[in-house]
Structure 1
Amino acid sequence: MKRRDILKSASIIAAAPFLSSWTNEFSGYTNHQSHNGTKVIQRFGDGRDWFFERRYGMFVHWGLYSIPGWHEQHQWRGREERSKYVQLAKHWNPKKFNPDQWLDLMEEAGMKYITVTTKHHDGFCLWDTKQTAFNTINTPYKKDAIGMLADACHSRQIPLCLYYSIADWNHPNYPNQGRHHELPPQSQDSPDWDKYMEFLKEQVRELCTNYGEIHGFWWDMNVPEHKDTSINDMIRKLQPKAVINNRGFDEGDFGTPERDYDSAANEAKGFERLTEACQSVGMESWGYKKDEDYYTDRHLISSIDRYLARDSNYLLNVGPTGEGIIPPQSSEILKRIGLWKKTVDESFTNVQTDADLINSPGVLVTKRDQSVYIHLNRMPVGNGIKLKPVTVAPRKATLLNTGKKVDFVVN
C-alpha cells in the first residue's frame, strides 16, 4: 500500500494505510474525551468559524515575478536593481487571466477557499490602490485583478483571503536595511516607519472596504519589533468574518508552519492553537518557475494528510504564469490530489483527533461517531497496526483509498 492510503478500522489491523467502523457497542468509547490526549481547539463562536469547516484551500502567488518565471523573490535573490525590476510593469498584461478557471480548478481539487497575493515583497499591487502608482491599473493590462477574483468568489460563495507582504522593496519609506528578505539600503529612499505604516493602513483599508466580504488576511514578513494591534483591530471591525494569521502585528488567530520545515509541527500529535500549514506544488518557488521541480503527489498527499488529520487547515500553492494561466503541471497535480481527497474526505470531516488510541510513528487517528480512521504516512515495521484498548470487533475494516476490505483480529 502507498503512504497516502488511509484505513477506516478498529482493533488490530493486519495491513497498512486504512480506516474502519466501530461496532455500535463501542460508540461510547469513540466519543470519550478523557481518552483523547490532544487539545480541542475552541471555535470563535462568530463569523470566523467558516475556517473550521473549509479546512483545505488554494494559495496563489502571482505578480510581476511571474513574467520572467524564475522566483517570486526574483528582485532580491537575483540582486536586481529596483530601476530595472520595475520595468516589468510595462509588460504586465495577463490577458488569459480568468478567475472562474482558477476557481473551477480549485473546486475540482477539493479545495474550499482561496488565498491570493495582493502585494508581495516587490511592492507591486494587484488591485486599484490609490496609495501607489506601482499597481496593475498603471500597466498595459489596466484591470483590477483582485476585484475580478473577488467578484468571481462572491458569485460562487467561495471564501476569499488576501495575502499582504509587510516588507516592501519598492516603497521609499520602507526601511530596507539588508536584513533577511530585504534589499540593502537604497540611496534614493527616505526610510520612515511611521510614514510607511500610514501607507500600509490605507492599503489595508482599501482591501477591506472595496471588495465585498473578505474571509481572511494573510500577513507576511513583519519586522519582529514592530507590533501594532490596532491594524488587526481595524480588519476585524471592517471584516468580522476574516481570520488573521500570526505573521503580522500581533499573534492573530492561527499559526502558519511552512513547507514542512517545522519538524515539531510534523511530529506533533496535535496543535496547541489553530493552525494553517502552507506548501507549494513546486520545490523551488512559490511563484511561477519555468523549469520548476515539482513535488511528487505522494509527498504532497502525505503532507496534506498529516495536517488535516490533526485538525489543521492546509493551503496548497500554485504560481500562475505572467499570462494568468495556472501551469498544466500544477493543474494536473491538484486534480490528482483532488481525486485522492474525494475518496478519503470522510476521514477529515467533522472528526476528532485521538492521540491515545495508537502509539506508532507516522500514524494518526481521527474518529467520528462509530468510525475510526487510521492515517498511515509511513509503512508499519510489523505485520499490522494495533489499536488500544479495543476489545470488541468492529463491523468492518476498509481501505478508503480503494474500498477494499481489510483483515482484523481482536485479542
Structure 2
Amino acid sequence: MIKKFGDKRDWFFEKRFGMFVHWGIYSIPAWHEQIMWRKNISRDKYVKYMDSFNPLRFNPEKWLDLMQEAGMEYLCFTTKHHDGFCMWDTKYTDFNIMNSPYKKDILKMLSDACHKRKIPLVLYYSVVDWHHPNYPNQGRSHELDKPEKGDRPDIPKYMEFLKNQIRELCTNYGKIHGIWWDMNTMGHVDKSVHKMIRKLQPQAIINDRGFDKVKRGPGNGDFCTPEREMPEGMAFNYPTEACQSLGVQSWGYREEEDFFSDKFMMQSIDRILSMGGNYLLNVGPKADGTIQAEFRNSLRKIGRWFNKVKESYYGASPASNLTDNKDILITEKEKSLYIHLYKGPVSSTVKLNPLKKMPRHAVLLNNGLHLEAKVDSACTLWKNIDDTLRIRKIPVNRIQNEPMVIRLDF
C-alpha cells in the first residue's frame, strides 16, 4: 500500500489519469520538440521560430473537452521546454509568447479554463535551457555541446532566474497542483526551491527530477516518473506517475509521426493503474493550437474503454499477490476483486489459483456480460491443479481491441 501524503497533495491519489501537453515553437518545424539540439540548429536561427508562432486556432476549452472525453482528470502543460521558450508572460526573459505575433499569455488562457472546470493544472518546467546565457551547457544529457558565443555560464545566476520564474508561475496563475521538473542534468541540489513551491502552492505535487537530490527516485520530490519504458512488477510501493505519448517518435507535434495502437495504450494504462500508479498520456498540438485527428480519435477510443472499467482503479488497491497467475493483475475494493487481463487472454478461461472462494457474480466490465465462475480441479499440460477458482466463457474472440476487466463480487 502506497503511503499518502496526508495533506492537500492527496488529490494525486484521487485523480489517476492525466493529459500531458508538449507545445511550443518547435511545433512549427514539426519534427521533434528537441529539434534545436538534435539537428544542431544555432540559437540565432532557432529563435526566429518565435517570429512566426501565431496559434490563432488555440482554444483551451476544446483541449479540455477532449481531455474529459478521454476520462482524464488533470492536465500537465509544458511552460518551458529545453529550448527555453516560455509559454507565459514572464518578465525574466524576452524569449516568450508575448513577443510572438500571438501576443497572448497562453498559460493564462489555459489556467483560467482549467480553474473554471476545477481541473488540476500541473506545470512542466525544463531545468536544461538552450537559450539562457547563464545555463552551464557542457554536452551532458540533453545539453548543448558547449556554451554559445556570448554565454556566461553561472549556476547561481541561472538558479536565481529559475527561482524567479517558478515564483512567477506559482503566484500569477491561481491554484497550481504541481511542478513537473525535467532534466536537472547539472545535478544541482537546492532544497529551497521545493520549499518555496510548497509555501506558495501547498497542494502542489513535485516530481523526482528536481532539486532535493542529485538523482531521480524516492526522496527527490513526491513521486517517481517512469517514462516510455514501463516498469515491471505487481504493485508500486511509492507514489508513481508513468508518462507516455501517443506518438512513437516525438512528444511535440511531428508532421510524419508514427502512432502507438489504441490497444497498446489501453494495456499500458491498465497495467500502471492496476499497480497503483497514475498515468500521464501526452499529445503534441500543432502550431495553430489544434490537436490532430489521430490524437483525437485515439483519445476518444481510450475514453470509451476507460469509462467502462475505471471503477476497478478508483478507491481500489493492488492485490495481485492473491494469485500465482502472472498473466493478470488484480485490484481490490471492498468486497470485490477486479481481474485485469491486460496482456490479453489466450483462452476463454482464466485460472486464479490458489483462490477457492466462489464469487456471487462475475461481471465483464467491458460490456456487462455475466461470466461463469467455477471452483474445481483443473488440468494443465503437465499436471493437475487442486480445486481453484476459474472464470469461464470469456468472449476472447469478440473483444480483441481493448483490455478486459472482470469484477468478482463476493
Question: What is the CA distance between 1:371 and its match in structure 2?
Answer: 1.2
SS of residue in 2 equivalent to 1:356: helix
CA distance in 2, matches of 1:381, 1:340: 20
Question: What's the counterpart of residue 111 of structure 2?
Answer: 150
Question: What's the counterpart of residue 115 of structure 1?
Answer: 76
Question: What is the CA distance between 1:386 and its match in structure 2?
Answer: 2.3
CA distance in 1, matches of 2:355, 2:140: 55
Question: What's the counterpart of residue 172 of structure 1?
Answer: 133
Question: What is the CA distance between 1:228 and its match in structure 2?
Answer: 0.8
CA distance in 2, matches of 1:60, 1:49: 23
Question: What is the CA distance between 1:381 and its match in structure 2?
Answer: 5.6
SS of residue in 1 equivalent to 2:321: coil
Question: What is the CA distance between 1:390 and its match in structure 2?
Answer: 3.1
Question: What is the CA distance between 1:388 and its match in structure 2?
Answer: 4.1
**1:298-327 deviation digits (Å, cap 9, x = unpaired):** 100000000011110000000001111011
SS of residue in 2 equivalent to 1:270: coil
Q: Which aligned pairs between 1:3-152 and structure 2 lie closer than 5 A? A: 40-152=1-113
Moved more, 396-405 or 145-154: 396-405
Question: What is the CA distance between 1:224 and its match in structure 2?
Answer: 5.2
Is residue 216 of structure 1 aligned with residue 181 of structure 2?
no
CA distance in 2, matches of 1:338, 1:384: 27
Question: What's the counterpart of residue 225 of structure 2?
Answer: 256
Is residue 330 of structure 1 aligned with residue 295 of structure 2?
yes
Question: What's the counterpart of residue 382 of structure 2?
Answer: none
Question: What's the counterpart of residue 397 of structure 2?
Answer: none
Question: What's the counterpart of residue 380 of structure 2?
Answer: none
**1:56-79 deviation digits (Å, cap 9, x = unpaired):** 000000001011111010101111
**1:97-126 deviation digits (Å, cap 9, x = unpaired):** 111110010000000000000000000000
Question: What is the CA distance between 1:391 and its match in structure 2?
Answer: 3.1
SS of residue in 1 equivalent to 2:14: helix
CA distance in 1, matches of 2:317, 2:237: 14
RMSD: 1.2
For these two proteins, the number of residue pairs brought into alignment is 368
Contact 2:234–2:321 (8 Å) recurs in 1: no
Partner amino acid for 2:249? E
Identity across matched positions, percent: 56
Partner amino acid for 1:184? D
CA distance in 1, matches of 2:363, 2:243: 30
* Distance verdict in 2 for CA 1:103–1:193, change over 3 Å: same
Question: What is the CA distance between 1:361 and its match in structure 2?
Answer: 2.6
SS of residue in 1 equivalent to 2:281: strand
Structure 2 residue corresponding to 1:181, chosen from 142, 146, 157: 142
**1:159-200 deviation digits (Å, cap 9, x = unpaired):** 000000000000000011111211121232111111000000
**1:333-361 deviation digits (Å, cap 9, x = unpaired):** 00100000011111111111113211223
**Structure 2: runs of 5+ lacking an equivalent:** 213-219, 377-410
* Distance verdict in 2 for CA 1:140–1:382, change over 3 Å: closer
Is residue 246 of structure 1 aligned with residue 189 of structure 2?
no
**1:31-63 deviation digits (Å, cap 9, x = unpaired):** xxxxxxxxx111111111111000000000000
Structure 2 residue corresponding to 1:318, chosen from 283, 306, 316: 283
Structure 2 residue corresponding to 1:349, chosen from 279, 298, 314: 314
Partner amino acid for 2:281? L
CA distance in 2, matches of 1:187, 1:141: 29
CA distance in 2, matches of 1:341, 1:182: 38
Partner amino acid for 1:105? L
Is residue 397 of structure 1 aligned with residue 362 of structure 2?
yes
CA distance in 2, matches of 1:295, 1:381: 22
Question: What is the CA distance between 1:383 and its match in structure 2?
Answer: 6.4
CA distance in 2, matches of 1:172, 1:77: 20
**1:119-151 deviation digits (Å, cap 9, x = unpaired):** 000000000000000000011000000011010
CA distance in 1, matches of 2:327, 2:162: 43
**Structure 1: runs of 5+ lacking an equivalent:** 1-39
Question: What is the CA distance between 1:380 and its match in structure 2?
Answer: 4.5
Question: What's the counterpart of residue 202 of structure 1?
Answer: 164
Moved more, 110-119 or 370-379: 370-379
Question: What's the counterpart of residue 30 of structure 1?
Answer: none
* Distance verdict in 2 for CA 1:225–1:103, change over 3 Å: same
Question: What's the counterpart of residue 364 of structure 1?
Answer: 329
Partner amino acid for 1:242? A
Question: What's the counterpart of residue 241 of structure 2?
Answer: 276
Q: Which has the higher contact order (CA 8 A, sep 6+)?
A: 1
CA distance in 1, matches of 2:73, 2:187: 34
CA distance in 1, matches of 2:356, 2:84: 61
Partner amino acid for 1:241? Q
CA distance in 2, matches of 1:80, 1:280: 25
Is residue 191 of structure 1 aligned with residue 156 of structure 2?
no
* Distance verdict in 2 for CA 1:184–1:406, change over 3 Å: same
Question: What is the CA distance between 1:389 and its match in structure 2?
Answer: 4.1
Question: What's the counterpart of residue 236 of structure 1?
Answer: 198
Compute the TM-score of the two structures, normalised by the length of structure 1: 0.88
Partner amino acid for 1:227? V
CA distance in 2, matches of 1:252, 1:394: 42
CA distance in 2, matches of 1:390, 1:76: 54
Question: What's the counterpart of residue 27 of structure 1?
Answer: none
Partner amino acid for 2:137? N
Contact 2:56–2:288 (8 Å) recurs in 1: yes
CA distance in 2, matches of 1:381, 1:303: 18
